[in-house]
Structure 1
Amino acid sequence: MIKKLLLLLLFTTSVLATDGIIRVHEAPVISKPHEDGIILMKLRKGTKIYLHPNYLNEEAYYVTLTRDGRKAYIRKDFIKLILNNESEDLGHTIYVKNDPTDYVIAEPLPDEYPLKGRPLNRSQFDLIFKKGVSSRYAYNSEVQQESTGFEGSLNVKYLSPTTFDDGHRLYYGFFGGITTGQAEYRLSGDIFTTESNIHYTFGPIVSYTFHKRQYFEIESMLQVGLNYQRRFVNQDDQTNGLAEEKLFSGLFFNVRLSINLSHKKIFDSPSFYLYHGPVIDIRLPSTLESDGQFINSQLWPDNKISTNLEGTFGYNVGFTYRY
């Protein structure tokens, strides 16, 4: 009796069960009969799939089962029914002219195909804080106290990869920046002076990324800048009641070396990086000149400021935008 019931159950299941063939490249099996359903699994073209016979007349979706036996849904136009009768030719064929699930691109690609690779160009914005320079005006009186302070620099850079470096490690471009700082001196005879500097920089830049990892990069950078400097020297002789300010200006070159650590995943956007690292700034000798028209000539022994070769250390923090 038990054997007969089992045979009847198997026969009933085989009669009621309906199969289909996936007719698209990759058909999603979803959790509910709606496009917002969660994708439970995907089936490739030609895969045989079970379809519940009680839901064959539904409007847009067949009912099926996932691999773990859960009820699921699949679009009707993604399925070719296996009927095994004279109505086999009715309904969908295996061939799909415009397959919405087919992401495979035929080769060769047409010349006008809109390929988009990973972003290569870089725009950078950074702040540099470094020790102020020690070169100063040659005063008549002896310097008893001095404070060169710190300089702050704001810089913008644009870089592109070289055409011969397939690894995109070597970049070149240009930069521009503005730097300000102030030094204070106390001279013998109760003379107090300040030297306020501002200079504008423009020049070429080269960088090389010598260490790459998933979350960070380390790059070295070389900048050569042409600078136009304006230095305001103010002297206040409190003993004799004399005060005067003069402007000295001129051009000079500087070389800047830096090592930057770039953090890739610190922001939600993959295009923005945070970088920071030490900086060495080397200034070449130069001469700053004024118009030579002094009201209190006893305060001004010379109408020039001569600067020597000098190197300063600093630290830079900035952002990189890749596009």
Structure 2
Amino acid sequence: MRIDLHTHSTASDGTDDPGQVVAYAAAAGLDVVALTDHDTAQGWPQASSAAREHGVTFVPGAELSGHVMVRGEDDRDHRVPVHLLSYLHDGDDPALVAELERVRVDRRERARTIIGRLAADYPLTWDDVVARTAPGTTVGRPHLADALVHTGIVANREEAFATLLHPSSPYYVGHYSPHVTDLLALVRAAGGVPVIAHPLASVRGRVVDDAAIAAMTEAGLAGVEVDHREHTSSQRAHLHGLAARLGLLTTGSSDYHGDGKPNRLGENTTSPEVLDAIVAAGRGTVVAP
């Protein structure tokens, strides 16, 4: 059984709509796929219908934005982004929905601020971003990157993220996110199963340390995404060992974004045993074909 538990659609920063993600998952030989758009469950209904049509089991999920404070080599505490993959939570839970809407609104305002800064030096407008964004989408830096590509300012998303949209760029602006302890509590209260996404992907910036993951485990973390293209073999080995010590589930996923990233569906997968544990622990239900 081939299981991919981390994908994105046009409901956030992917380039395929939710139904297409599921259809492409079937074509790629996957038996199970989760849709984990950023801070939204908007794509679940379309993905569920497509799963029945294409004979794929669908796992409802989302990738939620949080943060943790980590002590750096400079002996100072640094705010480090944390993304939680939440599986099988209640998509209508009032407290979680309210918090995610706060994140989504702030993401949009942050995007407007970044565009304002870029517009001082480049021929870019907010309308360029809107044109690259589906209605109701969680707006993020990938949409800004697409606007930069479309207007010819950069060649591709990778260049945009490495230069103008990089956290070290003068155009960069952060966005609101809850502390991961509070986010874990919200996910658990909504019946979700939280797994930390790509925790050692240093290409994205500062990463969490073992102590932070241990503290998250005490606060309700259920698993860690180990097999991810942005983890080296030594990082994967380290995370497997850490997960074993902490009693965490381990997953592998593609982090598929369609044409937005080189990640391909099914390039990393999760074991059926881990999926069974996630399903047993979650309040929601998978959609079987």
Question: Is this a same-fold pair by TM over 0.5?
Answer: no
If the length of structure 2 is used for normalisation, what is the TM-score? 0.19
Q: Which has the larger radius of gyration?
A: 1
Higher relative contact order structure (alpha carbons within 8 Å, sequence separation ≥ 6): 2
Q: TM-score, normalised by structure 1?
A: 0.18
Higher strand share: 1
